[in-house]
Amino acid sequence: MDWEKIEETLDRLMAQKRHGQLRGALMMINPVDIAEYMKKLDAENLLLLFRILPKDASAEVFSYMDSDQRETLVESIGDKEITALINDMFLDDAVDFLEELPANAVKRVLQHTDPKTRAIINQFLHYPENSAGSLMTIEYCEFTPEMNVQDALQTIKETGVDKETVYTLYLVDKQRKLMGTVPLHKALVVPEETPLIKLVDPGVIAVNTLDDQEVVADTVRKYHLLSIPVVDGEGRMVGIITSDDIMDVIEEENTEDFEKMSGLAPAEEPYFKTSLFKLAGNRLPWLMLLMFTSIISGAIIARFESVLAVNILLSASIPMLMDSGGNCGQQASTLMIRGIALGEVRFRDLPKVLWTEVRVGLMVGLVMSAATFGRLILINHASLAISAVIAVSLYATVVIAKSIGCVLPLLAQRIKLDPALAASPLITTLVDASSLFIFFTIASKYIL
């Protein structure tokens, strides 16, 4: 699909005010792409295009718009249109939309929503931000254990169009306690008179309304679920979270980890929508902390100033040692943080992980130090003593950097901190100080 040609066609139809043809063209485009196209429109054309869309498509397109576009539309359309829009949206999408709006806009929207929907939305808005309760929807297929496959399929035909997903059947008892789930494909390949209770998957996999969204994402990823049920404190089923919402959570959590690993405070807004002051404020705390911790490295250099005066090659080797150590530590920490996120590595694995990384460091360090020793002898024509000091220092630095890089994220997890906080900036500072101390200790002993 040549998207540039499609955009040109839509632009031309809009400029020529051929609204009938524009409507037909829009109906041939995926709602996600329509929302993407609307990003470049001004407020007037945005409202025009939105009103051209059929009612059954406008709510879906609206759910894919960014927060600024949504707010612009809410300020421009009438109360009846707002009511129809909210009623046509899936409930979780409506809640996500309202969470992004200013308080006065939320009040206006809720005023023109029917009382039943308004009560449900208010209940959702009271759940903690980024909790399972704030992510869930109540639009799912619910059945009783007395029903058979024929009853279930008939219910899906009658009500499935209003559900967010029909691929999983949820069985609840009279007290609304979740008894289990039945995948739709399993119900389709058995006789229609088969009781649903006989098809229930063993073991109930669910999350609590107050569980953090990261716990939800980890559970869905671990069990490869299309959706996951949400229960309250008494085990009663109150909703489900679907895979599309989980993908948004995973993207958000990964972005947050990358920002922390780079010494940034997590940003809530996209890059181009974040103010300069906010961008600077997100970066400054870690930069200030690392600037002051670098005093340690400076103090070590000042303490061994007499060693540097012996040979200029020793001073020239400092950046190589520090960079190599930082890179090795970053490699190990990245693997640990990713392993922790995927549930592959836990704190109890620390001895095994440390033993593995030490051996890796010994192998990697051997190659790097041998190459450095050869370069110093053959290219820089350094003495055997100086070459050996630099090579041995590099060897020890690599091993220690690998050890620090794997240990810190696991220790952070143990004390209930985000492992990403122990990544690049902190590791680099510790490895730099360690590499300098090792280097100068060896040099002062064997050269002076």
- CATH of residue 245's domain is 3.10.580.10
Whether 117 maps to a domain, the answer reads yes
Whether 134 maps to a domain, the answer reads no
Name the amino acid, one letter, at 170. Y
Question: Within this chain, do residues 253 and 276 fall inside the same structural domain, yes or no?
Answer: no
Question: Within this chain, do residues 290 and 325 fall inside the same structural domain, yes or no?
Answer: yes
Q: Which pLDDT score, from 0 to 100, does residue 308 have?
A: 65
Q: Which pLDDT score, from 0 to 100, does residue 272 have?
A: 60
* Average pLDDT score over residue span 180-209: 90
Whether 246 maps to a domain, the answer reads yes
Whether 173 maps to a domain, the answer reads yes
Q: Which pLDDT score, from 0 to 100, does residue 413 have?
A: 83
Q: Which pLDDT score, from 0 to 100, does residue 270 have?
A: 64
Q: Are 57 and 30 in contact (CB under 8 A)?
A: no
Question: Within this chain, do residues 389 and 327 fall inside the same structural domain, yes or no?
Answer: yes
Whether 99 maps to a domain, the answer reads yes
Number of domains in the chain: 3
Q: Which pLDDT score, from 0 to 100, does residue 271 have?
A: 59
Q: Which pLDDT score, from 0 to 100, does residue 287 have?
A: 66
Q: How far apart are CA 105 and CA 111, in angstroms?
A: 10
Q: How far apart are CA 288 and CA 281, in angstroms?
A: 11
Q: Which pLDDT score, from 0 to 100, does residue 263 have?
A: 55
- Strand order through the sheet with 227-231: 207-208, 227-231, 237-242
Q: Which pLDDT score, from 0 to 100, does residue 395 have?
A: 94
* Average pLDDT score over residue span 25-45: 86
pLDDT above 90: residue 415: no
Question: Within this chain, do residues 235 and 96 fall inside the same structural domain, yes or no?
Answer: no
pLDDT above 60: residue 239: yes
* Average pLDDT score over residue span 7-29: 86
Question: Which of the residue ranges 27-41, 269-283, 385-399 has the most confident prediction, judged by mean pLDDT?
Answer: 385-399
Domain boundary residue among 68, 91, 126?
A: 126
* Residues of the domain holding 15: 3-126
Question: Within this chain, do residues 228 and 299 fall inside the same structural domain, yes or no?
Answer: no
Tokens coding 306: 């007499």
Whether 277 maps to a domain, the answer reads yes
**How sure is the predictor about 417, in pLDDT bands with cuts at 50, 70 and 90?**
confident
Burial zone of 343 (CB within 10 Å; 0-12 exposed, 13-18 middle, 19+ buried): exposed
Q: What is the CATH number of the domain that holds 441?
A: 1.10.357.20
Question: Within this chain, do residues 194 and 83 fall inside the same structural domain, yes or no?
Answer: no
Q: What is the pLDDT of residues 129-140, one digit of tens each?
A: 888 988 888 888
Burial zone of 185 (CB within 10 Å; 0-12 exposed, 13-18 middle, 19+ buried): exposed
pLDDT above 90: residue 358: yes
Domain boundary residue among 191, 225, 257?
A: 257
Whether 132 maps to a domain, the answer reads no
Q: How far apart are CA 67 and CA 71, in angstroms?
A: 6
**How sure is the predictor about 329, in pLDDT bands with cuts at 50, 70 and 90?**
confident
Q: Are 180 and 204 in contact (CB under 8 A)?
A: yes
Question: Within this chain, do residues 102 and 178 fall inside the same structural domain, yes or no?
Answer: no
Q: What is the pLDDT of residues 252-295, one digit of tens each?
A: 777 776 666 555 556 566 656 677 777 677 667 766 766 676 67
Q: Which pLDDT score, from 0 to 100, does residue 367 have?
A: 95
Q: What is the pLDDT of residues 84-105, one digit of tens each?
A: 777 777 777 777 777 776 666 7
Question: Within this chain, do residues 294 and 218 fall inside the same structural domain, yes or no?
Answer: no
Question: Within this chain, do residues 301 and 421 fall inside the same structural domain, yes or no?
Answer: yes
Q: How far apart are CA 331 and CA 45, in angstroms?
A: 49
Whether 52 maps to a domain, the answer reads yes
**How sure is the predictor about 351, in pLDDT bands with cuts at 50, 70 and 90?**
very high
Question: Within this chain, do residues 370 and 441 fall inside the same structural domain, yes or no?
Answer: yes
Question: Within this chain, do residues 209 and 91 fall inside the same structural domain, yes or no?
Answer: no
- C-alpha separations of 126 from 11, 118, 123, 239 in Å: 42, 12, 5, 15
pLDDT above 80: residue 121: no
pLDDT above 90: residue 368: yes
Q: Which pLDDT score, from 0 to 100, does residue 342 have?
A: 73
